[in-house]
Amino acid sequence: MPRAVPPQPVTLTVNGRAYTLQLEPRVTLLDALREYAGLMGTKKGCDRGQCGACTVLVDGRRINACLTLAVMHEGENITTVEGLASQNTLSPMQRAFIEHDAFQCGYCTPGQLCSATALLNEFRNGTATIVTADVRTRAPQLSDDEIRERMSGNICRCGAYVNIVAAVRAVHDAGGQSASVDINANLT
């Protein structure tokens, strides 16, 4: 019978802050974020990489946190939904999700937001998808078909897809900008 490997210190940089956690090598990034670092925004949906609820950004690239081990991400910059806002100001994508009512129950929303944020960067960088008309040239505009394809790894059981596409479209059309909202403004 194999011996258990004792927990080891693992330092993860999450939302600009270093977290040194005592982790067994088999702890997923999702469990490290939620159970060890106390960042509850990233959700555990299927725990099999099929729903996208656990989507986070690692060095700007979106990944399913349930499918990767935490120890694999030392030295990388991890952004969770908590890190999308800056100095109490919602990101353009977060604001657009509110403006376009792009959520219902909200369980998938953290993963949807991280995925949508990465989607815009992928499009800006010229990354093609299966629905890209001509993979040799970068399309000037992001089509709704491209948005749906690029978001296809994120499931919304409530069916808010039309509003999610509208939110992504609004941020893209605004050049990544949206009205800033102080997230503490209504807390008085």
Q: How far is CA 7 from CA 17, 53, 67, 161, in A?
A: 21, 27, 19, 41
Residues 6+ apart with CB under 8 A from 51: 45, 108, 111, 154, 155
Task: Specify the pLDDT at position 174.
Answer: 92
Superfamily of domain 92-173: [2Fe-2S]-binding domain (1.10.150.120)
Task: Specify the pLDDT at position 103.
Answer: 93
Domain chopping of the chain, boundaries: 8-83, 92-173
Task: Specify the pLDDT at position 96.
Answer: 98
Q: How far is CA 8 from CA 4, 14, 39, 70, 118, in A?
A: 12, 18, 20, 11, 31
* pLDDT tens for the 188 residues of the chain, in order: 777 889 999 999 999 999 999 999 999 999 999 999 999 999 999 999 999 999 999 999 999 999 999 999 999 999 999 999 999 899 999 999 999 999 999 999 999 999 999 999 999 998 888 888 787 877 778 999 999 999 999 999 999 999 999 999 999 999 865 444 344 443 33
What is the side-by-side order of every strand in the sheet holding 61-64?
17-23, 8-14, 77-79, 55-58, 61-64
Return the CATH number of 8-83, one of 3.30.70.20, 2.30.30.90, 3.10.580.10, 3.10.20.30.
3.10.20.30
Task: Specify the pLDDT at position 177.
Answer: 53
